[in-house]
Amino acid sequence: MSIAIVTGGASGIGRAVATALVSRGDTVVVTDINAEGAEYVAGRLNTLGRGKATAARLDVTDADAVAELYQGVKAEHGTLDLVFNNAGIAIGGLAEELTLDHWNRAIDINLKGVVHGVHAAYPIMLEQGSGHIVNTASLAGLVPMPIGIPYTATKHAVVGLSLGLRAEAATRGVKVSVVCPSFVDTPLLSNVNPGLPATPLSGNAKDDIQKASPRLYTAEKLARDIIRGIQRNQALIVAPASGRAAWRGARLNPSAAVRVAQFAVSKVLADKKR
């Protein structure tokens, strides 16, 4: 049985991961800035009859709050085995449509939220000589994804952070993995630019995304991929198969990957002219 923390656990990937962990008998602290949502998820998980779940409100942009919660879990349970730094937001729009508010919010949540989680969890795991940190990035952290480059930039940073930390931690008992899914059917797709200045892509972008990717991967399938990747101690957990193909293509021919991305930009520009 493992003791785990999941940020952004009230919905989407976080909820699916928390469910998979409790289903196998783990104890999970479901955290989210949406306290009611986290409480609801934890309550449902406690009906599964396997592991246990508790809930906590957590704003990952608050470094002190993250540190206090992670240290509290360690103090209560005597160990901190798994940390999923998963909370994130979606940013959409062409570069000239985005403000510094978009950039700063993406950096604060998608990047600094992960930094805060790592900064809190890593010393604990070093001291105990064990543990696994799992950071959620995106396929956008491996390929050139336009029309939302603050999101793309932060996800590239999370990939780099995770792989660099993995190298530092490898001989010290701590494991690090980074999750890079392509489009997953989660509320993130229906809440682009939350609380930020609007762009033509603000709000529900799910319909537009499904035109290009009709069969969205489910959070439940991704959670299974993540658990399997953790068991295998994979550095990069890339899913689904189409995402792995896109990643391989970008590695083999970066220029071609940029040209493919240009098609999406051309469509957006054409729509703006109508």
Residue 84 neighbours by CB under 8 Å, 6+ apart:
4, 5, 6, 7, 9, 14, 17, 134, 136
Using CA atoms, how far apart are residues 208 and 182, in angstroms rounded to an integer? Answer: 15
Instruction: List, by residue number, the catalytic residues.
Output: 151
Contact assessment for residue 136 and residue 88, using Cβ atoms and an 8 Å cutoff: yes
Q: How far, CA to CA in Å, does 200 sit from each of 183, 187, 232, 233, 247?
A: 19, 18, 41, 40, 28
Contact assessment for residue 141 and residue 92, using Cβ atoms and an 8 Å cutoff: no
The helix or strand, by DSSP H or E, that contains position 45, with its residue range, turns out to be helix 35-45
Residue 174 main-chain phi, psi, to 5 deg = -110, 135
User: Residue 235 CA to chain centroid, in angstroms?
Assistant: 15
Task: Tokens 């701590």: give the residue.
Answer: 174
Residue 185 neighbours by CB under 8 Å, 6+ apart:
206, 216, 217, 218, 219
Q: Is the C-alpha dihedral spanning 219, 224, 227, 229 positive or negative?
A: negative
| Alpha carbons within 13 A on the beta-carbon side of 205 | 25
Using CA atoms, how far apart are residues 168 and 166, in angstroms rounded to an integer? Answer: 5
